[in-house]
Amino acid sequence: MLVRSLWLTRYENYVLKERYIVGAAIELDPKYAKAYYRRATCYLQTLRYKQAIADFKKLLSLEPQNQLVRMQLDSTQKILRKAEFEKAIEMEEEKNAAERCVEIIAEGGCDVDRGYAGPVLPKTEDGKFTIDLEFVRNMIQWFKDGKTIPRRYVWEIVLGAHSYFAKDDSLVEVNIEDGATIDVIGDVHGQYYDYLHLLSLTGEPNEKHALLMNGDLVDRGSWSIEVIITALAWKWLYPTRMYINRGNHEAKEMNRTYGFEGEAKHKFGEQTYKLFAHVFTTMPLATLVSATKPPVGPTNKTILSPDGRKRYFVVHGGLFSKDGVTLDDIRKIKRIGQQPGQEGIMCELLKYRLQLLWTDPQELPGRGPSKRGVGIAFGPDVTKRWCEANGVTGVIRSHEVRQDGYSIEHDGLCTTVFSAPNYVDQAGNKGAFIRIDAAGSQEYTQFDAQPHPPMKPMAYASSGLANLLM
């Protein structure tokens, strides 16, 4: 339990606090080398490469013979140069990756290898690829057996899902009809074998049952490609029964550091990674899940919609740094083609960035600095005011490990669900998902981690940083 607690603290709870502590230590003793190292690793956790480089350089001025720090400085500088170069290239590109992939297909540059002997993606009468349930099931088993599908199939699946995402508002609305249910799934983080076990518990999406994945499908786990392709295949097959919100890890800077970029390029090439990166920007930022039947039991303290029904705001991170943000404000956010780090996108509507994807609840009332160093933390009074103002029964979010797979906070108005059990093979936590029925009633299901092939987490992460960030 001690090792588990220390790991969870390192990954989810300590970044801002640690930075403050070591900052104070540096003020007291500007030659305290260890403090510069610890602060640099905190900066790396939130992808603040320039600040990390400055601390590594200061540390080397104090310890010129420290080869480990020199290696980490070199790795961080390389990642920063690569990020700045790619941003410059992106500014020059006229076509998005989806358009370019369609062009390459039309030019005959992405045909299926004749030697491929796996599941076959069906075609329509006019020769275009389509998808059916048999293919999805066979593909899942193919992946489980450690095999891969052709790059052309990957592109078709991603483009198929993209065609639906691109039509959605940034806030998607889902009504749960009588006799139907929807399962809200938290972070999966590339843990494919746990994801398959999860799907065996939720059941496949169908006419009476929908799935909503609440972001962070990729990174850290080393089967992120298999997770995201499977999820997008369900989206293409059942667009009104498979929903996917964007998480903070569906973003280029996170993918570059935590493994998905390296994995996608390794398995299917650079253009495939670019396609994923663009499609991530088309994913909705939140989903409003609404009951269609009256609530069961007493409702005197329950916040209901204007028509007297329960409804839930499902978002990866959380709420905003100011009051007054409405559902309509969220619906109208322009997101397609934008990365979270760009000015004005997915931020609190005036100046704060990333809050839909990055914020966390806190026990104290009011708002405070995030322990991550990105976004803010919001208290129970903030949640209550926002829910009352918008007629929302509760906020369902993910983004943080919970030892039991879920936790109910803020007097029942904020629930965190996390679906990656034994997170990165170290945390020892359970996974969970939430089932909501047509009356808005919730049921929580926990599950344990499953065995997987012998590959460590972050196997494809940026060279030199994987061990440091683990």
Active site residues: 249
Other CB atoms within a 10 A radius of the CB of residue 453 amount to 10
Residues facing 418 on adjacent strands: 187
Two tokens, residue 51 = 């600040």
Residue carrying structure tokens 């409003």: 288
Two tokens, residue 38 = 């610890």
Distance from the Cα of residue 55 to its chain's centroid: 29
Other CB atoms within a 10 A radius of the CB of residue 332 amount to 12
Two tokens, residue 196 = 């398959």
Q: Is there a contact between 152 and 102 (Cβ–Cβ < 8 Å)?
A: no
Contacts 24+ apart (CB under 8 A), 386-391: 386/319, 386/320, 386/323, 386/325, 387/303, 387/313, 387/413, 388/303, 389/323, 389/324, 389/326, 390/313, 390/326, 390/327, 391/303, 391/304, 391/305, 391/306, 391/311
- Strands 209-214 and 242-245 come out as parallel
Two tokens, residue 222 = 């080393």
Residue carrying structure tokens 């048999």: 134
CA atoms 192, 169, 211, 102: torsion sign: negative
Two tokens, residue 253 = 């800077």
Residue carrying structure tokens 């602060």: 39
d(CA 304, CA 311) in angstroms, rounded, equals 7
What is the 3-state composition of the chain as percent helix, strand, coil, each rounded to the nearest 5?
Answer: 45, 15, 45
d(CA 384, CA 376) in angstroms, rounded, equals 17
C-alpha closest to that of 287 among 268, 304, 270, 312: 312
